[in-house]
Structure 1
């Protein structure tokens, strides 16, 4: 966050004056802690929003956006036309079988999501019941686009699990390859995703941020309400500064 003065609007948006690198002097609109926003993903074929998760802002600065998805949050997820989970479809047809979307409650413990502006991945923290920390999850994705009510991205299939003993492993390499065979990702994009994965792996090996920052000890404000899923969860975004 710059040292310039900041003000909080009635909508929960914090406005920071002054130039930021890469914005051409555009005023950044930051969300105050406790603000409820949407974390969304577009599908890889048509660009329509098919994943929507209402979250609560933990921190929003020039360096990091951190949000909390509480247990029991009503979300939108893709499903097969008969309502079956996408992963029930064989891999060979998983990305060509017709889909729709469904509302469902997030079960289990909540998820803390951390994202640095412009970085082609976000890092999610998972706990077992009783706040026993389980793992970090590096979700490779398109750098997020900010808009008035949240952030939008596109999943890149390939992921990394990271454990408290600093061991790590690749996830969903089969889905990453199948997405290419199904035409959802061309060779050049696949190359960039692999490069992003290698860059993320280097951060893990060096135990850089956010792994070394102690976020596994963070806890949500008990006064935060679980955000509601709006009826227009898939509305076109009103753009704001990135």
Structure 2
């Protein structure tokens, strides 16, 4: 049963983060290897079989945007993955997000709530298995996503983006096949109501004493000592205008 802060794990296990520590959850851009998404998060649990983190409302994050200032999802699909991009800093709106990831799995599971802590749904984000480094974890998004609802129904998202990414050359045939297989495996997990869906994470609440993590100036820093693949750099973001 998950607890609010899991303070019982007071001593840091070798290579593990303590509950309450701040790390970065980052994604590399498909086809470039540059970090284009960065979200400061608070560690909830870090064990041999699970990394759980909390992204608080109002967290300052980095996200991609087209170089002409167009939001990515406002660009027509035909040119969404071919026009130049940059990165911008903005704050996460709405309720916070609890992210759960098990080592080696090609997805992470996110939990969403409505205001007042009314649980809305789980969200299976297909992605490259995360690579740990001293300041956080890095991955690469695989476009396809799966919403899972409290009545155990599920719905796929972004299949059009997945197909367009293939046409744009961001995914090869072998990689696309592996992603599809991962999606089928995730769907079977949902149908069997395995972990984490069978666990009581919807009742979890963040420690009220936790501060909102800050976005460091060097959020895009290359990682030279990962546990697996080599590190990659990124451009520093431009901040959107105020007012």
Q: Verify same fold: TM over 0.5.
A: yes
Q: Say which of 116, 121, 129 aligns to 2:102.
A: 116
Give, in whole Å, the separation in 2 of the partners of 1:156 and 1:197.
10
Say whether residues 1:203 and 2:200 are aligned partners.
Answer: no
- State the match for 2:13 in structure 1: 15
- Aligned to 2:178, the other structure's residue is in SS state helix
- State the match for 1:146 in structure 2: 132
Q: Say which of 83, 86, 89 aligns to 1:100.
A: 86
Say whether residues 1:133 and 2:119 are aligned partners.
Answer: yes
Q: CA deviation at 1:204?
A: 0.1
Tell me if the contact between 2:10 and 2:18 (Cα under 8 Å) persists in the aligned partners. no
- Aligned to 1:31, the other structure's residue is in SS state coil
Q: CA deviation at 1:240?
A: 5.0
CA distance change for structure 1 residues 187 and 232 in 2, over 3 Å: closer, same or farther?
same
- State the match for 1:66 in structure 2: 52
Gap regions ≥5 residues in structure 1:
1-5, 9-13, 17-28
- Give the TM-score taking structure 2 as reference length: 0.88
Give, in whole Å, the separation in 1 of the partners of 2:47 and 2:226.
15
Tell me if the contact between 1:68 and 1:110 (Cα under 8 Å) persists in the aligned partners. yes
Q: CA deviation at 1:189?
A: 0.1
Deviations 1:80-123 (A, max 9, x none): 11222101110011001111000000000000000000000000
Give, in whole Å, the separation in 2 of the partners of 1:58 and 1:239.
24
Deviations 1:137-194 (A, max 9, x none): 0000000000000000000001100000000011100000000000000000000000
Say whether residues 1:190 and 2:176 are aligned partners.
Answer: yes
**How do 1:155-174 residues align onto structure 2 when only pairs under 5 Å count?**
155-174=141-160
CA distance change for structure 1 residues 111 and 7 in 2, over 3 Å: closer, same or farther?
closer
- State the match for 1:36 in structure 2: 22
CA distance change for structure 1 residues 241 and 98 in 2, over 3 Å: closer, same or farther?
closer
Q: CA deviation at 1:238?
A: 4.3
What root-mean-square deviation, in Å, do the aligned CA atoms of Structure 1 and Structure 2 show?
A: 1.2
Tell me if the contact between 2:132 and 2:138 (Cα under 8 Å) persists in the aligned partners. yes
Q: Say which of 215, 229, 238 aligns to 1:229.
A: 215
Give, in whole Å, the separation in 2 of the partners of 1:165 and 1:173.
23
**Structure with more relative contact order (C-alpha pairs < 8 Å, separation 6 or more):** 2
Give, in whole Å, the separation in 2 of the partners of 1:164 and 1:222.
26
